Structure 1
């Protein structure tokens, strides 16, 4: 769908137009409509000298001087809202032949293209003056798990090196220290280009983006040429959109093509990582983790785990480089995230000696990523993580498991509604394999029946318990806040509680209603009620 329309033409002060201003540069350049037409090789009806200073496909977010992208939607065509866009200040319309037919009697200039969404990003880049040599280094991270943490690590390294970086991600959008509300993992392509122009205007030297498969499939990163892109891993997720792993792989691989990136870094293994490196259409640097026999230019070696305090490791390079590093987050997957961030920064032109000096002087990776292995208490250990698919859940459970005899692992989790239903029983089995106490609850049911989702997860959990882990305790507790309280009720000081699946999220969607729910606050409240000491952090 191109957009959702309000019931009236009135835009609230904190509505789409207000949010659009937050994304835009303060002083955008102006481009003649004729120049945009020439760039696309598209026809324009009239007004070739009209100056365009912005672009949006949401009629409610139009600002004066904008080109309104009237795109076809699932139920209505964006051209039906051109009058609203004109009232808001649109000076021209980009649309397809059907939209042009709907606008035949309109006096706004109309730029016609067969696939307007496919050119939205390129047009926005031209309007805002963005390009691969505009002085803003662009880093893109893709993969099923680890995108957010890797992005935060990249920005922490850049900041330690003296660069003011921006961030476009799941949790937040940052222009230096300025926070901009984040709605999607990646905003629309026109918003991405506007954000990059704003960052350049503010003197930022780099930006890091999480690039999801949805962003690639729906053209949200069109018009962006990344200096360095990175690949974390590929595991089962989003198959409701892609249909199968091969299709999922094909979409992800689009990022490693000349039209989208200059260089790539891939964590290689015997599976998808190795295939990713081989299929890349751009120069690729390979990174191997401990125990991986794959050929690679950079390797992680000499790992020393310190439990909840993170790990030490050495990043060994092709010319004998050895960079000793510390990552403060627990788990082997966070070593992988940290090493990937380091190699991506190296591939952007930073010398190994410069990176090595950062770790010799301090801990440049000491950044807390909200809702990613976030430690809220130590007795019992209480952790909130975003793990919401089988692979991420397995890794998180491995990361929080202490030495033999240290205590039980209690996990609270659910599965998301209207998403890949095939992973639900797998997640139940994964939880039983990795935890002593498994509490199945609700994640975001969306419009699905929550009980049916829980039943699918429970089926996998109970089958795994009955066949291989008869000592495991499996319970179904809902709603989610009650499940978190139940976990704390069962926990002793030496146990570990992992609340998985929602991480930083503060709203739970149930039957179209957003219910305020923050796993971190619920866990802190439950711990405090039982007399346990909790972290004073506000994150």
Structure 2
């Protein structure tokens, strides 16, 4: 369908939301300009954008980007006042000067695409770890509901119909976000499950977006650094914004910063559903884990539903099955059960959805000659800790060998956290590259190594496939090899380019001559 928006309509929209400041080249803007139709929105100067509005944004924005956009068909542009003051822009097309380009982009995008968020049931998930797994769990369950189709925005993949494709951001930029939502609506989707990162709030990608149900999984120090959050308090503050934008919210109580989370609950009017894993001092916990039992290819677990707090009915116990092991996955499943119960799913729909769900890059297990290889996306200290605790309980006598790296340009604190956890719980470590970006892979590995030295034997092998093969060579019967950090990623981010990569699982299978089903 053709979508259009007049230049005048955009100006009025921004005035209504107190973002509009002025027009550039105002004397050259006549009524024909103001009534001209905008048929494209873009923030990428390389895109074809005939009759388009181009958004100038970013700390590294250059004047030539606007010139490129004009050569590709842009007929107007939008720019933040402080960015305009830094540049010497002299172009013939009209420009809109605003207070905040990211907020303005979100407002224009949702209006341009006809507010598709109002045509979907929105579930937003935030947390330091577990967002992707929980999103896949919820999607699988909701898809069991008769007449429901669930779209997905996750770190791993995006699905709005006609198959899924790899994601570039955990939460898309607002232009992409509303374009994809619109596609989902056109494809007949009824629900959308999306991960909401702290960066999404920091960068105003989800400005004025409201959720039918929000989910707060946990909070641990992460994403703290020069290009992200200045400190943990800022990171937490942006995570907690989800409370202000959700009609109801599921909160998992086993996390840091519980007093601050409870304060956010008090300050907002959203209905809150609590989940937890401890039997003592449950208080107002609505859902908690009961007994669990590990089987060869799956785990069965019991959920205690204290619906007395919700419906006045007594405590009930229900059994579920999951094909992912580890306490963290059971916690994510517990949250997914609470969420989908609230959304009206039956016990049978939840059981079926959980039993058949598969999450790319999460606890992917490969068994060979009685050794176990696990490929997992674990990319911070708390995730690795949970994984190694599970490994030690699963194969208590075997060596735990870990292959991992840390990304460049972000999450600097992970280097210390991952190093210290590996030093405490692993038997041998091989450091390698993991999306080095604009940093040097060897320097990153050496920094991580400072937290391993003297505690656990380790080596550095920058070439990731070679590092994985070394790990395989070191394993014997009864050992576990954990290859973590990239999950199902089929690329390495290096100097602004996504270079093709086989995926960790494929490297393992090629080395062991295993043919995937």
TM-score (norm 2): 0.86
- Following superposition of structure 1 onto structure 2, how do residues 209-228 of structure 1 map, counting pairs within 5 Å? 209-228=194-213
Equivalent residue for 1:40, pick from 14, 24, 37 = 14
Shift of 1:104: 7.8
Q: In the alignment, which residue of structure 1 is the partner of 2:311?
A: none
Q: In the alignment, which residue of structure 2 is the partner of 1:295?
A: 283
- Of 282-291 and 152-161, the range deviating more from structure 2: 282-291
The structure-2 alpha-carbon separation of the partners of 1:138 and 1:62, relative to structure 1 and needing over 3 Å to count, comes to farther
Q: In the alignment, which residue of structure 2 is the partner of 1:479?
A: 463
Q: In the alignment, which residue of structure 1 is the partner of 2:50?
A: 64
Q: In the alignment, which residue of structure 1 is the partner of 2:238?
A: 251
The structure-2 alpha-carbon separation of the partners of 1:397 and 1:270, relative to structure 1 and needing over 3 Å to count, comes to closer
SS in 2 for 1:452: helix
Asked if the contact 1:154–1:345 (Cα under 8 Å) also holds between the matched residues in 2, the reply is yes
Shift of 1:227: 1.3
Shift of 1:294: 4.9
Shift of 1:161: 1.3
Shift of 1:196: 0.6
Q: In the alignment, which residue of structure 2 is the partner of 1:337?
A: 332
Cα deviation, 1:333-354, whole Å, max 9, x if unaligned, reads 111111212222233x31xxx4
Equivalent residue for 1:502, pick from 467, 476, 486 = 486
Equivalent residue for 1:413, pick from 392, 404, 415 = 404
Counterpart CA distance in 2 for 1:96 and 1:452 is 37
Counterpart CA distance in 2 for 1:514 and 1:33 is 36
Q: State the number of aligned residues.
A: 489
Shift of 1:245: 1.3
Q: In the alignment, which residue of structure 2 is the partner of 1:468?
A: none
The structure-2 alpha-carbon separation of the partners of 1:113 and 1:477, relative to structure 1 and needing over 3 Å to count, comes to closer
Counterpart CA distance in 1 for 2:298 and 2:450 is 35
Q: In the alignment, which residue of structure 1 is the partner of 2:193?
A: 208
Q: In the alignment, which residue of structure 1 is the partner of 2:312?
A: none
Cα deviation, 1:488-539, whole Å, max 9, x if unaligned, reads 11212322211011111222245666554321111112223xxxxx4624xx
The structure-2 alpha-carbon separation of the partners of 1:61 and 1:255, relative to structure 1 and needing over 3 Å to count, comes to farther
Say whether 1:324 aligns with 2:319: yes
Q: In the alignment, which residue of structure 2 is the partner of 1:268?
A: 253
Counterpart CA distance in 1 for 2:80 and 2:411 is 32
SS in 2 for 1:523: helix
Counterpart CA distance in 2 for 1:356 and 1:145 is 26
Asked if the contact 1:152–1:369 (Cα under 8 Å) also holds between the matched residues in 2, the reply is yes
Shift of 1:417: 2.6
CA RMSD between the two structures:
2.7
Cα deviation, 1:253-283, whole Å, max 9, x if unaligned, reads 12221xx332211111363245224314341
Asked if the contact 1:189–1:223 (Cα under 8 Å) also holds between the matched residues in 2, the reply is no
Q: In the alignment, which residue of structure 2 is the partner of 1:309?
A: 298
SS in 2 for 1:170: coil
Counterpart CA distance in 2 for 1:359 and 1:206 is 16
Counterpart CA distance in 1 for 2:71 and 2:429 is 55
The structure-2 alpha-carbon separation of the partners of 1:34 and 1:391, relative to structure 1 and needing over 3 Å to count, comes to same
Gapped regions of structure 2 (runs ≥ 5): 309-314
- Of 142-151 and 274-283, the range deviating more from structure 2: 274-283
Counterpart CA distance in 2 for 1:255 and 1:229 is 7
The structure-2 alpha-carbon separation of the partners of 1:311 and 1:496, relative to structure 1 and needing over 3 Å to count, comes to farther
- Of 449-458 and 230-239, the range deviating more from structure 2: 449-458
- Following superposition of structure 1 onto structure 2, how do residues 104-143 of structure 1 map, counting pairs within 5 Å? 106-130=91-115, 134-143=118-127
TM-score (norm 1): 0.83
Counterpart CA distance in 2 for 1:99 and 1:418 is 23
SS in 2 for 1:48: helix
Say whether 1:52 aligns with 2:52: no
Shift of 1:383: 1.0
Shift of 1:105: 6.0
Counterpart CA distance in 2 for 1:194 and 1:359 is 30
